Structure formats: structure tokens, C-alpha cells
Structure 1
Amino acid sequence: MAKVKKGISPAMRRTPGEKAYNVFNIIFLSLFALICAYPFYYLIINSFSDNNASAAGDVMWWFKGFHLENYKNVLSLDGLATAAWISVARTIIGTVLTVLASAYLGFMFTQKSMWHRTFWYRFVIITMYFNAGLIPMFITMKNLHLTNNFWVYILPAVVQPFNIILVKTFIESIPPSLQEAAEMDGAGTLTVFTRIILPMCTPILATVGIFSAVNQWNSFQDTLIYMTDSKLYSLQYLLYTYINQASALANAAKASSANVAALASAATPTSIRMTVSVIVVLPIMFTYPFFQRFFVKGMMLGAVKG
């Protein structure tokens, strides 16, 4: 009989082909990860490097002339603090309300006792395929007195059909015996939702939360359409206007430089674009890893009915 090495199960031994395949996978996925990460790395090293070298395209792999003047210049721009507060507030409030609405509607659409459940579900879902258009939407918001109003960022995005579908599918994978047992003990619909269903929906709600937070944080078109009051500008819209005015801002920064040595760190259109992009991207980049494990599980369970 062939001898089996101690400590290695026959089931764990791999053939040379399997070992080569694993090595190929590791190398390929590592390269793919580097390709995905490099654009963000490129933005960061250029935003901290000598602005003339950055504008000339000489900064590719490491910092050249490290300095923090770009961030000082961008963070000192007028209205940035107010716009940042607006974006943070809309992201937090909008995400919380969207998650709660998606959870509750997704739950109710699984309840056979809901009045005309099928009709209301189809009524919500059909809005995924038909849109009134920009002008009717603007007229509606204006008639509701939501133009130049903070709540125009929140209310139109609360009910999202795609999120409701994810939550509904996830809830349908939960054994109905749990709800039946709770109802036999006298629990009502709201109690079942808050005490039984909601705690079990953490993965899919984290997924919905990520979708909503990213959409709220990155959105600037609603500011462009509905806002004329600069106090209600979102961070994304304000930075978008600064990127469009990068050349003018760079010339102003150079004009304010006291000496020739300061010109190396004076803003250029490229440095402003790089710095603004980093400021926009970093909050989401830091948030996503904390929800990644819930995100993957939620997408799998929310997409395939168990």
C-alpha cells in the first residue's frame, strides 16, 4: 500500500495541476487588485507631490516634493465647511430613512394579510421602468415647495424599488415558522417586524445602507437642478464647480504666493483636480471595509431566494 505522509489528509493533497492553478489565481487576482487600487494611489501621491511635477506627469509611483499646501488651499475655499455639513447630513439622514423604508415595505410585501399586496408591490416596482422626466420632476418638487429645501435631498430617495426587492427576497428566505410562533404568542405585525424580522435582516440592510450612502454622498445633480441657495449646496456640487474653475483658482493661488520658492507648492489645475478627487473618494473608501462582510452576504442572500 502507498504510504501516506503523517499530518496530511489524502483529501487535502493537491495535484500539480491544482497547485499551478492556485498559483495562477493568486498572481492574476493580485495583479487585478493592483490595477483597481492604482488609480486611487495615483490621485493620492499627486495631491501630495510638487505641483509642477504633477502637472508635467512626472509623479507615477512615489511622492515628489511632499507637501500639504494643496489640501490647505482646497480646504480654505469659501463654503466648503457648510457644503461638507450638508453632504454628511443628507448621507446620514437619507441612508437611515431609506433603510427603514426598504425594510418595512419589503416586510409588508411578504405579508398575505396586507390589503391588495400584489397591486401595491407592482405599483412600486413599475417605477423602475418608467420615469416622468426632468421637467415634470422639477415642477412636482416646486409645487411641493421642496426647491431650495434640504428635504429635496432626502424625500425623493426614500423609497427605492430595487432595495425593496432585495429586502423582500431576503425576508422570504427566513423560515415563516418564526413569525407564526410570535403571532401565536400574541405579537402584532409591528412587533414581529421590530423584534423578529429586523434583527435578522442585518446583512441585507447593510447592503441597502451602502447603496444609499454612496448614492447620497456622490450625488450633485439634484443640487444643480433644485438649488439656487449656496447655503444648501452639497460638497460634491461645490467641488464640481471648483474643478470647473480649477484654472482660475490656480492662478489666484499663484498670485498670492509671496516668493518664487512658494510657487512649487502653489496650486495648479491638475493639483486641484487631484486633491478634490481624493477628498470626495476617501470617506466612502474608509466606510466600505466596515460593511464589506455584510455587503457580500446580503447580496448573495438577497439575490437568491433560499
Structure 2
Amino acid sequence: MRKPRKSTPPSSQRTRGDIPFAIVNYTGFLLMALLCAYPFYYLIINSVSANDASALGDVRLLPQGLHLSNYEQIAGLQGLSSAAIVSVARTVIGTVCTVLASAFLGFMFTQERMWKRSLWYRLTIFTMYFSAGLIPMYITMKTLGLTNSFWVYIIPLIVQPFNIILVKTYVEAMPRSLQEAAEIDGAGTFRTFFRIILPNMTPILATVAIFTAVTQWNSFQDTLLYVTDQSLYSLQYLLYTYTNQASSLAQAAQNAQGNLGSIVSAATSQTPTSIRMTVAVIVVLPIIFIYPLFQRYFVKGIMLGAVKG
């Protein structure tokens, strides 16, 4: 008597069309990944390649004449270190403040006992689509004494409606029994938030932190509008001015070499292209290094609410 065959689960069965589909699928994703990564790779290889070749557009796939003198000369520019400190400080402090504010407001907007909850929520969302404009915003900042102040980088960006929506949706998806159990044990609103809700919000808080950190790090317009004190210039604004003045900076770098100018080769002599490439790499690299640390939380948080079970 023949033994019955063991049934293979449908998920492990493969058809003839699965292998070609997988090949085409992975090939397509690989090409998309290369297309997304190439601009960053292009910036990096041009910033470390011979400046004369970079200026002529000859560096496309592989670096030519490797050197790091571009970074050494950019690092020696006046005010760069203080601007870097300002940018790091605003990114860290601004991210912490925005994450905490978004977490608390998102939690409070889910509490039915909050006074006029719907009204405050609608007013918050209203600011997401409508604003008074640039001039009223500047007058407000000036009246509050925030112009030429470090806090002009922090306070206007603390309350972000989109982040609050993300957190609110996440809290609504959490088991209601967690909060009810804390309330039965006598925990108040703040204790429930800090001891029960906040520790269970890691994915969405990581998502908000990435959005906020990228915004804070890349921002330069607030410096342009509200700050004239050079000690408060952010790194992005300083590099923005360097990029706009790339030609004059390249000439100044060559003149600063003095008598060595005739000895220095064209490969390491600053050009407008080398300055722009080097500045772009300095701007982008910190975010590229930080993002992988939060990626697993980011994917989980941003997909929140896509599937309802």
C-alpha cells in the first residue's frame, strides 16, 4: 500500500514563473537603489578627486587623483566650527523638544476628558494648511524677542501638526486596557503618559525624531530671515553662502597659498566645483549616518495604520 504524499504548504510551492518573476523583481529594485545612491556617490567621488578633472566633468564612475585637501581647506574657513556647534545644538535640542511635544499633544488629543478636545485639535490641524505669511511671522518673532536668538530655531518648530497626527493615530491603536489599568491603580494623566504610554511609543517617536532632525539640520531659511548675529549662524546657512560665493572662495583659497601657489598642482587647487561638491557632502553625510540607526523603527512607525486588523 502506497504511503500518502506529504502535502507541501502553498507558501513553499514554486511554479515555473516564480523564478523569472523574482529575478525581474530583484533586478528592478537593485536598479532603483543604484539610481537613488548614485547622486550621493557622485558627490563623494568628485569631492575627493583631482579638482581640475572634477571641474571638467571627467569624474563620473571612479575617483581620479584621490586627495582630501578639499575638506582640509573647507574646515579652515572662518566661522565653520561655531556654525557646526549651533547646527548640532539646534538639531539635538529641537528634536527632543518637538518629539516630547508631539508625543504629549498626540496623547492628550485621544483623551475624551480633555476640555474642548475637538476644538483644540481642529485649530492645530488648521495651521497645517493655512499660515499668516512671512511678514506677520517676522513681526511675531521680533515682538517675542526671538530675532537674533538661538531659540528662534527651537520654539517655532516645536508644535508640528503632521507629527501630532502620527502620534495620535498610534496612541489610538494601542490597547485601551493599558491606560485603564493605570487609572485604576490611581495614576494621573502625567504619570500615565510618562510611565505607561511614552515607553510604548518607540516606533512612532523614532519616526518623528527622523523628520524633525532632518528638518532642523537642513534648515537655513530661518537664519536668513531672523538672524544677523554671525555667532548664531547655522552650518547650513554658512555653507549656503559659501556655495553661492564658490568662485570668490576658490580664488581666495588660491591666493592664501602665497608663494606656494606656483608649486601647488591644479589637482588640489580649489575650484568652484570642488567647493560645491565638498559642501554638499558635508551637509548630507550626517543624515546618511544617522538614518540607518532609526530605520527599523521608522518603517514600523510610518506604516502605522496602513492595515487595520
Percent identity of equivalent pairs: 65
Contact 1:166–1:303 under 8 Å retained in 2: no
The answer to whether the Cα contact below 8 Å between 1:153 and 1:222 also exists between their aligned partners in 2 is yes
Unaligned runs of at least 5 residues, structure 2? none
Q: Letter of the aligned partner of 2:297 in structure 1?
A: F
Which residue pairs with 1:278 in the alignment?
A: 281
CA–CA distance in 2 between the matches of 1:79 and 1:11?
60
* 1:20-59 correspondence runs (5 A): 20-59=20-59
Q: Does 1:89 align with 2:89?
A: yes
User: 1:189-212 deviations in whole A, cap 9, x for unaligned?
Assistant: 111101111011100000000000
Take 2:308 and 2:136, find their aligned partners in 1: how far apart are those partners?
37
How far residue 9 of structure 1 moved from its aligned partner, in angstroms, is 5.5
2:270 match: 267
Amino acid in structure 2 at the alignment position of 1:262:
S
In structure 2, the residue matched to 1:237 is: 237
Match in the other structure for 1:138: 138
SS of the equivalent of 2:303 reads: helix
The match for 2:300 among 288, 293, 297 is 297
Query: Which whole-Å CA distance do the structure 1 matches of 2:24 and 2:296 have between them?
Result: 25
Question: Which amino acid is the alignment partner of residue 291 of structure 1?
Answer: F
Matched position secondary structure for 1:263? coil
**What is the distance in 2 between the residues matched to 1:263 and 1:296?**
46
- Structure 1 runs of 4+ aligned residues shifted over 6 Å read 1-6
8 Å contact from structure 1 (residues 90, 154) kept in 2: yes
Q: Aligned with 1:262: secondary structure? A: coil
Q: Secondary structure at the match of 1:283?
A: helix
In 2, the alpha carbon distance for the partners of 1:114 and 1:11 equals 48
In structure 2, C-alpha distance between the alignment counterparts of 1:5 and 1:47, rounded to whole Å: 60
Distance 1:200 1:302 in 2: 16
RMSD: 1.8
Match of 2:180 in 1: 180
State the shift of 1:302 in Å: 5.3
Distance 2:6 2:26 in 1: 26
Deviations 1:16-52 (A, max 9, x none): 1121111101001001100100000000000000000
Distance 1:170 1:78 in 2: 46
Equivalent residue letter for 2:243:
I
SS of 1:301 mapped into structure 2: coil
Q: Which amino acid aligns with 2:145?
A: H
| 2:171 paired with 1:168 | no
CA distance in 2 between counterparts of 1:296 and 1:66 reads 37
Letter in 2 for 1:194: F
Partner amino acid, structure 2, of 1:46: N
Contact 1:202 1:294 in 2 (8 A): yes
Equivalent position of 2:206 in the other structure: 206
1:174-226 CA-to-partner distances (Å, cap 9, x unmatched) read: 01111111111111111110111101110000000000000000000000000
Alpha-carbon distance, 1:254 to partner: 2.0
Specify the code of the residue in structure 1 equivalent to 2:31.
L
What does the per-residue CA deviation read over 1:146-184, in whole Å, with 9 as the maximum and x for residues that have no partner? Answer: 000000000000000000000000000001111111111
Equivalent residues, number: 305
User: Aligned partners of 1:3, 1:162: CA distance in 2, in Å?
Assistant: 58
Corresponding residue SS for 1:45: helix
TM-score, normalisation: structure 1: 0.96
Looking at structure 2, the residues matched to 291 and 160 of structure 1 have their Cα atoms a distance apart, in angstroms, of 20
Distance 2:208 2:11 in 1: 40
Give 3-state SS (helix, strand or coil) of 2:17's partner.
helix
Partner of 1:15: 15
CA–CA distance in structure 2, aligned partners of residues 46 and 238 of structure 1: 21
User: 1:193 is matched with which residue?
Assistant: 193
